[in-house]
């Protein structure tokens, strides 16, 4: 009788399989973070590589102090060896600037490593600053001076690395002032508070 009662429940032919509905469709956080960091590293490397390539071309093409075109005064390509900071600031302070650039690059890498994923524009701006910093750091470490060549009239000569740093810093200022690209981190908390009786 007990065996018969155990079989009283009809079998509908279904097989119990653990549902995958509750499983997250998103990729693992570690994979997303690794891909993001790889992209930022590639951008920084591209900025530094472009900077180094243009400087090498100028050094091979023009002697120091030589400019091209000779009769055009609005903006020229002039081979300048700068022992100071960007745009000729702190001339002669190469050793201090080498140390400062190294510290800045390490701090930027550390911040990008832990920076939030919901602020991609800020991360991109910092990556431009990092790429420019590394570009000039390579010059200071291996040559003792930084090669500048973009020479507007009535303005100090600069290079691709300087441009990347300025654009990155300007973008950070705009993003911080306007809040563009920042996720509303407390939106859920405020909504939950408002719904309380």
Statement: residue 30 has pLDDT above 70: no
Residue 3 has what pLDDT?
A: 53
Residue among 118, 148, 151, 190 flagged as catalytic: 148
Residue among 8, 12, 51, 162 flagged as catalytic: 162
Structural contact between residues 48 and 105, judged by C-beta atoms closer than 8 angstroms: no
In sequence order, what DSSP letters do the residues of 6-35 get, joined into one string? Answer: HT-SPP-S------STTS--SPPHHHHHHH
Over range 36-51, report the average pLDDT. Answer: 97
What is the rounded distance in angstroms from the CA atom of residue 144 to the CA atom of residue 138? Answer: 9
Sign of the Cα torsion 151, 152, 155, 159 reads negative
What is the rounded distance in angstroms from the CA atom of residue 18 to the CA atom of residue 36? Answer: 33
pTM of the model: 0.75
pLDDT tens digits, residue range 142-179?
A: 999 999 999 998 889 999 999 999 999 999 999 999 98
pLDDT tens digits, residue range 91-139?
A: 767 788 999 999 999 999 999 998 888 889 999 999 999 999 999 999 9
Is 118 among the residues known to form the active site? no
| Cis check: omega of the bond before 127, within 30 degrees of 0 | no
Is 63 among the residues known to form the active site? no
């Amino acid at each position: 009788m007990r065996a018969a009662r155990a079989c009283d429940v009809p079998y509908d032919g279904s097989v119990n399989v653990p549902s995958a509905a509750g499983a997250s469709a998103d990729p693992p956080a570690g994979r997303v973070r690794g891909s993001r960091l790889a992209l930022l590293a590639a951008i920084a490397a591209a900025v530094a590589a472009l900077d180094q390539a243009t400087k090498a071309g100028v050094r091979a093409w023009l002697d120091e102090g030589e400019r091209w075109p000779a009769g055009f005064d609005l903006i020229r390509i002039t081979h300048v060896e700068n022992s100071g900071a960007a745009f000729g600031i702190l001339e002669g302070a190469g050793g201090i600037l080498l140390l400062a650039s190294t510290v800045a690059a390490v701090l930027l890498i550390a911040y990008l490593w832990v920076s939030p994923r919901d602020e991609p524009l800020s991360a991109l701006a910092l990556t431009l600053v990092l790429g420019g910093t590394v570009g000039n750091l390579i010059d200071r470490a291996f040559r003792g001076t930084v090669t500048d060549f973009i020479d507007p009239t009535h303005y100090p000569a600069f290079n691709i690395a300087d441009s990347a740093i300025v654009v990155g810093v300007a973008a950070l200022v705009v993003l911080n002032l306007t809040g563009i690209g920042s996720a509303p981190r407390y939106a859920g908390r405020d909504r939950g508070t408002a719904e309380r009786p």
